[in-house]
Amino acid sequence: MTSTQLTEEQIGKILQGILVPPQPQIMVDLQMEQMHPEPDLNNIADLIKQDVGLAATMLKVVNSPAYGLRSRIESVSHAVSLLGLKTVVNIINGLSIKGELGDEDIVELNRFWDTAMDVAIVSASVAKQIGFPNADEAYNLGLFHNSGIPLMHQRFDGYFAVMQEAYSGQYSRIIDAENTAFKTNHAVVGYYCARSWNLPAHLCEVIADHHNVRQMSQAPGTSRESEKIVLMAILKTAEHMCGNYRTIGQQDVDHEWDDIRDIVLDILGLSPYDLDSMKVAFEDQGINLPHYY
């Protein structure tokens, strides 16, 4: 299908539901690409894939009723190619107008932005290593799973201080600290955010439950081979290897991983040695992972 141009009004209505602010440096790089005499849509797509808000926006637009596709698009690169340069540029410009962040917000949200892209890449790589049939789904889950974090930060003062406490090992689940402080948590908020972006229902459900691995894996009638359980295990492996507990939780020990490690490795059919081998391969790809044991 060739690209279809959307009107400014259509784009404006779609953007109303996009709340996750785009990463400032990515926006700068995109503006620079637009200034080229012949902007490269592939370069633009590669930049968009690195940002949660931008990637989600492109998927929401291309899957919206206004665009009229018969089947859901799950690849960000495919979405960008279908939308075409003019529509993509209009969306980027619309978000740049909406997304003015103060210096303090940028510093705080760097914790979120710094992890999202690496977790996405590692999730896709783990999926390929274990023979999971849809690495794009694993990538999208890794990119979007913590999308509730910037929204919680914008809504609640002192949010990252609570997250530091959440990762400290004082609570059975990370989300318990948030529930105590705010009566909600980033997984629930991320679920509704993902639904608003028209992400597949099973990905939304994994986002909602990604801090409930033990409970989900032991639920009556649940198969550890089910797609959702395997995706959740892929995600938790990627989170651990990318050091979310350090970046977001500011901790030296991954208490959540210590609790669920045996469950996750059993689901994926991996050993600690396999993780070490993967770590070397990821670092060869330029992903610098912390020492995680």
Q: Given a cut of 60, is residue 13 above it in pLDDT?
A: no
Task: Please state the domain extents for the chain.
Answer: 8-98, 103-284
User: What CA dihedral angle connects 59, 189, 147 and 95, to 10 degrees?
Assistant: 60
pLDDT, one tens digit per residue, over 15-42 is: 455 467 788 788 878 878 888 888 899 9
Residue type present at position 212: N
Q: With beta carbons less than 8 A apart as the criterion, state whether 248 and 112 touch.
A: yes
What fold does the segment set 103-284 form as a domain?
Answer: Hypothetical protein af1432 (1.10.3210)
Phi, psi of 81 (to 5 degrees): -65, -35
Question: Could you tell me which of 57, 30, 56 has the C-alpha nearest to residue 44?
Answer: 30
Question: Please, which pLDDT band fits residue 288 given cuts at 50, 70 and 90?
Answer: low
Contacts of 148 (CB under 8 A, 6+ apart): 185, 186, 187, 188, 189, 190, 191, 193, 207
Pairwise CA distance, residues 73 & 68, whole Å = 11
- Please give the model's pTM, rounded to 2 decimal places: 0.79
Note the pLDDT of residue 114. Answer: 79
Q: Please compute the mean of the pLDDT values over residues 84-104 and round it to a whole number.
A: 71
Q: Please compute the mean of the pLDDT values over residues 116-123 and round it to a whole number.
A: 89
Phi, psi of 183 (to 5 degrees): 65, 15
Question: Could you tell me which of 238, 241, 221, 234 has the C-alpha nearest to residue 267?
Answer: 234
